[in-house]
Amino acid sequence: MNTKGHLINSVSEGSIAEEMGVEAGDYLISINGNEIEDVFDYRFLVDDEYIEMVIRKADGEEWELEIEKDYDEEIGIEFENGLMDEYRRCHNKCIFCFIDQMPKGMRETLYFKDDDSRLSFLQGNYVTLTNMSDHDVERIIRYRLEPINISFQTTNPELRCKMLNNRFAGEALKKARKFYEAGITMNGQIVLCKGVNDGEELERSLRDLSEYMPYLQSLSVVPVGLSKHREGLYPLESFTKEDAREVLQCIHKWQKKMYEKYENHFVHAGDEWYILAEEDFPEEENYDGYLQYENGVGMVRSMLDMLQEELETHQGDERERELSMITGKLMYPFLGEMIKDINEKYPKVQVHLYGIRNDFFGEQITVAGLLTAQDIIAQVKDKPLGERLLLPDCMLRSGESVFLDDVTVEEMENALQVKIDIVKSSGQDFVEKVIE
């Protein structure tokens, strides 16, 4: 039994816990006589119509609470640590790891590598399976913690050991087989490295992983991100236009094969492949509901379609505005086209669009989410900005107004002397922020 328990950080007003006298500062000791290892145990045990909960008060007194409720009704308590346990650090030394490519001197949290199966379920993080014990696998299956997101990289055991610099990395692939046999829904990811896991190795991986359908419901293939801070790291090369076309050819072949069998395209190419190959993006139906959206799969298509849908609801007028917008080099041409579409209905709305070069990480990093405030300020401080500056929300730390280099939105406003608006990744918000 966990005699220490889990510290309760807050109690929701009007909740069952408040009615029972539970307070912030109390400790949860057990539910139905069971020790609570982490949030998964807690969530599993509270989803019942009758539970017995032991709470230790601040003075050391223990209360045994009998609670009757609806099956999935919340108790109303939040814990000091949302995971109710320590976060598990990654022990791999992947040849493509972007954290290893960051310069020194940034905030400490940016250097933390997680490889925690619980965060895969809670936050959508991808895990390598190397940090997952048999006990973890059993709990995922018992609690039906799905989908579980897996970074495969390759199905060649020896090559996987090399890519992850972990002698157990090949053996860890067997855990995915256990999830498949138990019917656990999975999503997969392959970070493609030129001359390493592409070509015949990619073909092998797609062939092997296709056998996990339908439980492996989607698989993304994304190019490795290479910053300029790679001193002493494994030598990796950038992909060329011809390379990208070969990758897309392989992926499209498997999409056709899987769709004929499952009516699901299964494997998807990151947007960067289409941009590098100078090929058109697939239509919306090819993305199977955008299951890999957070991996940069289908973002451009989704934004373009949502913009058109939103513009169809607008009549247009002669309002006058002048503003500016920041993006990375990757999205620059597409946002330019979107602005042209808006101008067809709002011809007097002027938008200065700036594609920022990533000097901090290197010019090969072209996504907006890895731009720093210092690069933005340096490159637009003498440019016309209009009445407002629009920034995509992916540039900021989740839930906060802070950039990667710890500069705040307010500090940028002061440096550029312009009001900043944050734009969500939707066509509707994009149009609204531009015209209103």
Q: Strand 349-356 to strand 27-31: parallel, antiparallel, or no bridges (unpaired)?
A: unpaired
Cα–Cα distance for residue pair 432/436, rounded to 1 Å: 6
Q: Residue-wise pLDDT tens for the chain (436 aa)?
A: 345 789 999 999 999 999 999 999 999 999 999 888 888 888 888 888 999 999 999 889 999 999 999 987 889 999 887 778 877 788 889 999 988 888 887 777 776 677 776 776 666 788 999 988 898 899 899 989 889 999 999 999 999 999 999 999 999 999 999 999 999 999 999 999 999 999 999 999 999 999 999 999 999 999 999 999 888 899 999 999 999 999 999 999 999 999 999 999 999 999 999 999 999 999 999 999 999 998 889 999 998 999 999 999 999 999 999 999 999 999 999 999 999 999 999 999 999 999 999 999 999 999 999 999 999 999 999 999 999 999 999 999 877 899 989 999 999 999 999 999 999 877 788 899 998 8
The one-letter amino acid at 22: V
State residue 426's pLDDT score: 79
State residue 89's pLDDT score: 80
The neighbour count for residue 263, using CB atoms within 10 Å, is: 9
Domain 6-79: CATH superfamily is PDZ domain (2.30.42.10)
The neighbour count for residue 260, using CB atoms within 10 Å, is: 8
Cα–Cα distance for residue pair 181/162, rounded to 1 Å: 27
State residue 326's pLDDT score: 96
**Per-residue pLDDT tens digits for 326-377:** 999 999 999 999 999 999 999 999 999 999 999 999 999 999 999 999 999 9
Same fold, 99-297 and 304-435: no
- Please spell the DSSP secondary structure of 283-350, one letter per residue: PGGGGTTTTTGGGTSSHHHHHHHHHHHHHTT-------EEEEEEEETTTHHHHHHHHHHHHHH-TTEE
Task: Compute φ and ψ for 38, nearest 5 degrees.
Answer: -160, -170
CATH for 99-297 (3.90.190.20, 3.40.1390.10, 3.80.30.10, 3.40.50.970): 3.80.30.10
State residue 107's pLDDT score: 74
**Per-residue pLDDT tens digits for 78-134:** 988 777 887 778 888 999 998 888 888 777 777 667 777 677 666 678 899 998 889
State residue 374's pLDDT score: 96
State residue 120's pLDDT score: 67
Q: What is the pTM of this model?
A: 0.84
Residue count of the chain, please give it: 436
Cα–Cα distance for residue pair 351/324, rounded to 1 Å: 5
Burial of 316 per CB tally in 10 Å (0-12, 13-18, 19+): middle
- Please spell the DSSP secondary structure of 122-139, one letter per residue: HH---B-STT--HHHHHH
CATH class belonging to 304-435: alpha beta
Contact residues for 24 (Cβ-Cβ < 8 A; gap 6+): 8, 9, 10, 11
Helix, strand and coil in the chain, % to nearest 5: 35, 20, 45
- The domain locations on the chain are 6-79, 99-297, 304-435
